[in-house]
Amino acid sequence: MRKWDFYTAKEIKPSGWLKRQLRLQAEGLSGNLDKVWRDVRDSRWIGGDAEGWERVPYWLDGFIPLAYLLSDEDMISRAKKYIDAILSFQRADGWICPCDDKDIPTYDTWAVQLISKVLVVYYECSADERIPDVVYRVMKNYYTLLKSGTVKLFRWGEYRWYETFIAINFLKGRYTDAWLGELAEMLYAEGKDYTTLLDKWKKPFNKWTLDTHIVNIVMALKAEAVCCDALGKEYSGEADRLYEVLSRYNGTAVGLFTGDECLSGLSPIQGTELCSVVEQMYSYEQIFAYTGEGKWAERLEMLAFNALVAGISDDMWTHQYDQMSNQIACRRLPGKPIFRTNSGEAHLFGLEPHFGCCTANFNQGWPKLALSAFMHRGDRVLSAIPIPSVLDADGIRITLDTEYPFKNGFVYNARADRDISLTVRIPSFARDLTVNGVPTVKSEEITFNILKDTDTRVEISYDIEPMLVDRPHDLKCVRCGSLVFSLPIEYEAVSHEYEKDGVLRKAPYCDYEYIPKSDFGYAYSSPFFKVERGDVSDIPFCSKNPPVTVLCEVKKIAWGYEEGYDSICAKVPASREPISEAMTVRLYPYGSAKLRMTELPLV
């Protein structure tokens, strides 16, 4: 049984730096993709002739909650235009995807799974009463096709079967039809069992496979959490077992798993696909809501405040396909790519570097994090991810004023039309916790009683100490709470405007190479650090003037390049012998340092 339920985009509204971040997204590529990208603007989903499989649903999955979180009437009307068009093509038997009848038996039904999930997202934002019946008919048709053998799970549908349970769970709360349980069982039986793949995740190969595809894997982390109730099974912690193998053999400094595009080991110069960042975030949101275990919320913060920021430009008009922990340049690789199965331009910032799935899919990252700020169960409210927000739902109003993760102070103002409780999650890394100015013994959660029609103010603060964290190959990274810090590399952004596949790449959504202008060969020479905090600007994770930095001492070393490259640093330094005296440098948050060295030796 799920421990916490989500609020909707009508009940949670962003404030402070979070609202500015979402507005940046709305004014960037996410909010304009239907105007500039043919695969969304002219999609077969809305009667056009362009891509008609995953890209429009991917985009809507983030665009819809973004529109409603910001109460942006123009964006809301554009979302409705797409939903109306999609619904207009639903057949009498329930089939909804843009696919000819003769092609249905060979159609990869990942698109069915994805659009059903998106329709649920739309209903939760809009309360459009057409949607439950539409989703019911989509799932009933899917059940009929699977039961008759007309379609079978294969390829992406076989590996992403659990995504369908977002719609199944939605329907099971409204309908009692026996076929819903049968559909759940069929998907479970035909879908890939990821627990059988663990040995394949322990050693990277330069081979593209669905078994090791990073996006499949991080999506599957939530499978048990979203499926077990519908299947009548006890939750066993499958995500913990998968996570342990993934982090041990493919983990990165910011909690990602390398995957460029399949699992790639522990090297800091291997990449991770941006689609996997947002899907891993969504998995952690679902796992935390189901289990209530704080470790998943902390892991979610790590991804959001580091990896999500890193893969997208400050203005949110461009993104990378692959990001790297030690990324000293973003230049086209003219020969063999460093990435195991991706192209030599996968790490450029652009409209659709390497492949366009991330162009549409990265949009869900920030909006769904915003929807995880508060959760509830009955008359108990949880502050799950402490980002600036306003909750206004069912007679309850709670505001959270904070600049976390840049500063560690939190002010809650609460009022309700009945007695409720407010629970605040306290992270494991918090030190010297105070509540309303009083030193308090730290615990995982603190609960406050909010009395009916009474204004209640709660002030919480704690300290977070920067520390060195061990990484493979006898390297270290600097972490301070949910933020990881990197040595930034100065760079020049060189733009490339051109047309490809009928799409014009022009500023601000052309391709950009980042050419380094400063050295990268350093080692930490002291384990002591000083945190400096400033104001949060209109660009919260600004790459030019980030709101929090760390001062530390380093020495130069002869690091060198990876063999065969002049824009990729070596996996490990050629020499750890210092070649300079100690000097003080300023580390930036990982996501703010678009070129960076994150994993360094300590000498």
pLDDT one-digit tens code per residue, 267-300:
999 999 999 999 999 999 999 999 999 999 999 9
Tell which residue, 72, 227, 242, 68, has the closest CA to residue 163. Answer: 227
Q: What is the pLDDT of residue 212?
A: 98
Could you give the CA distance from residue 138 to residue 142 in angstroms, rounded to a whole number?
6
Q: What is the pLDDT of residue 189?
A: 97
With helix as H, strand as E and coil as C, how does 92-105 read? CCCCCCCCCHHHHH
pTM, two decimals, is 0.97
Angle between helices 110-126 and 55-69 (to 10 degrees): 10
pLDDT range class, residue 1, cuts 50, 70, 90: confident
Report the sign of the C-alpha dihedral through residues 16, 21, 24, 30, in that order: negative
Q: What is the pLDDT of residue 13?
A: 98
pLDDT tens-digit map of 516-535: 999 999 999 999 999 999 99
Q: What is the pLDDT of residue 35?
A: 96
Residue type, 370: A
pLDDT tens-digit map of 425-443: 999 999 999 999 999 998 9
Mean confidence (pLDDT) of the chain: 97
CA-based radius of gyration for the chain? 24
Res 353 pLDDT > 90? yes
Tell which residue, 210, 343, 209, has the closest CA to residue 271. Answer: 343
Residue type, 83: I
Res 239 pLDDT > 90? yes
Query: Count of alpha carbons within 13 Å of 577, Cβ hemisphere only?
Result: 3
Q: What is the pLDDT of residue 386?
A: 98
Could you give the CA distance from residue 393 to residue 289 in angstroms, rounded to a whole number?
18
Res 235 pLDDT > 90? yes
Q: What is the mean pLDDT of residues 157-169?
A: 98
Q: What is the mean pLDDT of residues 403-420?
A: 98
Peptide bond into 532 cis (omega under 30): no
DSSP string, 522-575: EEE--S--EEEE----SSTT-SSS-SEEEEEEEEE----BPTT-SSSB-SS-S-
Q: What is the pLDDT of residue 416?
A: 98
Res 113 pLDDT > 90? yes
Q: What is the mean pLDDT of residues 378-390?
A: 97
Query: Does residue 424 or residue 173 have the better pLDDT?
Result: 424
pLDDT tens-digit map of 501-512: 888 999 999 999
Q: What is the mean pLDDT of residues 447-459?
A: 97
Q: What is the pLDDT of residue 502?
A: 85
User: What domains can you pick out in the chain, each with its CATH number?
Assistant: 37-191 (no CATH), 375-463 (2.60.40), 467-597 (no CATH)
Peptide bond into 508 cis (omega under 30): yes
Contact in structure between 54 and 354 (CB atoms under 8 Å): no
Q: What is the mean pLDDT of residues 218-238?
A: 97
Res 119 pLDDT > 90? yes
Q: What is the pLDDT of residue 501?
A: 84
With helix as H, strand as E and coil as C, how does 106-134 read? HCCCHHHHHHHHHHHHHHHHHCCCCHHHH
Q: What is the pLDDT of residue 33?
A: 97
pLDDT tens-digit map of 548-594: 999 999 999 999 999 999 999 999 999 999 999 999 999 999 999 99
Peptide bond into 337 cis (omega under 30): no
Tell which residue, 138, 150, 84, has the closest CA to residue 111. Answer: 138
